[in-house]
Chains A and B, each alone.
Chain A
């Protein structure tokens, strides 16, 4: 057992670090990565695109993409090493995640050579930004219940309907869209997967204000939007299978949730005095801190287990399926606990408080981490069914034509 990089991994890490030192600003020690904190600043999108271009030129974008797609053809472990290093720098690369990690890998797997030739390069270089048009008001956890219709019309399709929770739709160039092409088939069988130009006539984007007050995601409405048939990915009716390629990649993230973790909770306890003296001497505070440290370390070493398998070129076990679920809940608990510890003053936001409003900010975005990319409940279903082998839930709509599925009063 050891935690060292192999010589090849160490060399790759040094190269990644050299690139980052030359092209980005390293965060001060102890500074915490806030949740999309910098994203609203003017000029942030241009700066992000500029960095992505340089990253692609240096071969660090699409590290684990095959060479045929225009990637580096590197290993998963190299991707993780680069991501670990990049996380120490102040760069906004999250906006490219949907394109690089979800959309293009799905399109390159299921689509045509022409799709690959047209879209892979601009995505990797940050010239075109992608969003995900999956969820709908009537289809979230039950994604396959989506109702947006695509109707065949000559050499293309006409799309009508609505998507929701679309991160970044307002600045994106393209979207991956799942729409219903046959409502007479059971719900999973009547879907198809498309590439949508977000500038197409009939696409209307309305921002959704989140509980934090900012608006990072949107509703997207389609009114007679035309998509050429050569922008369809995979066979007609195979949209669910294609979408699963995207979803599988979305749910098994390796990164920890951004925001306050054990160390910030510990720093807060060191800074505060409670009824019975220093917060760090309070038994209830100590036991909570110990539980979070244990969970944080547990996730860290779970990643180590996954990395060990990847480093050997093996398929990792199912253990990484717990990461998102544990991290989202822990973040929400730590955020609420931090505010509680500050007492009355905890309800004031901002820089004047210990740790600069970090806990308050986290309280308001933590709920999203338990919902986005598979709710806690869906994640538990996945663990129970795919890992523990428990039988699937009994589905009331099984085998039924989609148009006959009950929808409830709306």
Chain B
């Protein structure tokens, strides 16, 4: 039994935690909340350390560290509330290009992504409701795409969009930001520290990603991204629990620290439980991701559901523990609350993943008997 990350990745995690605490504290997220654009210098610094291209092949400028490296880095970016296009450009679009792109597409884009010179994002949602790769809206004809995509993460800073749409030979289309027929407009979102936008494409030139030929391929991409998202959620949830715990130790009411009251203790114990269950399930997702296991769809769903639960209870009860101060703009509680909720919607809500999980389990002859 070795259900743990290798030592060198634990070192990477510690290094990332130190760096981000110093260079990207919650104050950076707050600046983004108040309208600062993407800090490209910081993004380049992350790229220079090899983190942005951590899982990309070395021949394309990546570090070739594998999927487990993305897991530990995702956790730390989630912990620091980094206002950076990590999930979109690294965990989703970068991975999609690496998995499905043609050699020419990869040779053109991956080195730029790895170097932090270009940002890419995945454009999936066409409207409210569950995302189904077998029923995509929009269309592609003669290499031109017409479609509208909502809640596109980091749309305003993206140089490249990978748009899910049905068309000849692929379900995923590469559209450059500066191509004709591409309109990007800002959208209000619950987490302006990770701004979203609306993408309108009208006869815009689009290239197919040849590997994304069927819904299964697209589904697998989302499963893989969900494991990484679960680590981001875990980091955010743990940070919110730490913030609540610190406050409960320091804040006095009725002549004693509020953390000495069982009403607060038991609440935070429940948060701890949710966080530990999320960590255990995320670790299993990491194993399935790294091993490219047939278990990945189930492992991803479970990691995702547990991550959403932990993020919700931890950030919600962090506000509650802070009382009225937790509801103010000045305290950081709402940054965690916003981030956790946005994380729980990207890639589909927990509700969708629960249904998907039961479909997967029903398709098995016998579900796992837990030991």
Contacts and interface: CB of A to CB of B under 8 A. Distances in A.
Interface stretch (B116-124, B328-336, B362-370): B362-370
Nearest to B241: A388
Contacts of B361: 266, 289, 293
A385 B265 contact: yes
Residue in A297, A308, A385 with the greatest tally of chain B CB atoms within 10 Å: A297
Contact of B305 (A261, A294, A308): A294
A286 B302 contact: no
Contacts of B48: none
Nearest to B284: A301
A390 B249 contact: yes
Given A262-B370, A280-B358, A384 B265 contact: yes
Residue in A2, A299, A390 with the greatest tally of chain B CB atoms within 10 Å: A390
Nearest to B282: A301
A383 B2 CA distance: 25
A362 interface: no
A313 interface: no
A7 to B, nearest CB: 13
B14 interface: no
B91 to A, nearest CB: 19
Residue in B248, B277, B281, B301 with the greatest tally of chain A CB atoms within 10 Å: B277
Interface in A289-312: 289-291, 293-305, 307-308, 311
A388 B268 contact: yes
B226 to A, nearest CB: 13
A5 interface: yes
B184 interface: no
Residue in A262, A263, A322, A377 with the greatest tally of chain B CB atoms within 10 Å: A322
A297 B265 contact: no
Q: How large is the interface on A (under 10, 10 to 19, 20 to 34, 35 or more residues)?
A: 35 or more
B370 A296 contact: yes
Given A290-B305, A305-B283, A322 B276 contact: yes
Contacts of A261: 370
Contacts of B284: 297, 301, 304
Given A294-B302, A304-B1, A383-B272, A390 B280 contact: no
B262 A286 contact: no
B259 interface: yes
B275 to A, nearest CB: 10
Nearest to B355: A286
B306 interface: yes
Contacts of A345: none
A381 B263 CA distance: 10
A172 B286 CA distance: 48
B30 to A, nearest CB: 26
A43 interface: no
Interface string B246-275: 001100000011011110111011101100
B351 interface: yes
Contacts of A391: 249, 256-257, 259-260
B270 to A, nearest CB: 7
Nearest to B254: A394
Interface string B280-317: 11011011001100000000011001100100000000
A283 interface: yes
Interface in B214-254: 241, 245, 248-249
Nearest to A314: B4
Interface string A373-394: 0000101110111011111111
B22 interface: no
B269 A2 contact: no
B278 interface: yes
Contacts of B276: 298, 302, 319, 322
A276 interface: no
Interface in A311-349: 311, 319, 322, 325-326
B355 A304 contact: no
Contact of B265 (A77, A381, A394): A381
Contacts of A46: none
A297 B302 contact: yes
Given A294-B281, A299-B370, A387-B272, A5 B265 contact: no
Contact of A384 (B266, B287, B291, B302): B266
Contact of A389 (B249, B279, B281): B249
A300 B370 contact: yes
B287 A293 contact: no
Interface of B: 1-5, 68, 241, 245, 248-249, 256-257, 259-262, 264-266, 268-270, 272-273, 276-281, 283-284, 286-287, 290-291, 301-302, 305-306, 309, 351, 353-355, 357-358, 361-362, 366-371
Given A297-B302, A302-B280, 13 more contacts: A2-B2, A263-B370, A287-B355, A290-B354, A291-B305, A294-B277, A297-B281, A302-B276, A387-B272, A390-B245, A390-B249, A393-B262, A394-B256
26 contacts: A2-B2, A77-B1, A263-B368, A263-B369, A263-B370, A266-B361, A294-B281, A294-B302, A294-B306, A296-B370, A297-B370, A298-B277, A298-B306, A299-B280, A301-B284, A302-B276, A303-B371, A304-B283, A305-B283, A308-B2, A326-B273, A384-B268, A388-B245, A388-B268, A388-B269, A393-B265
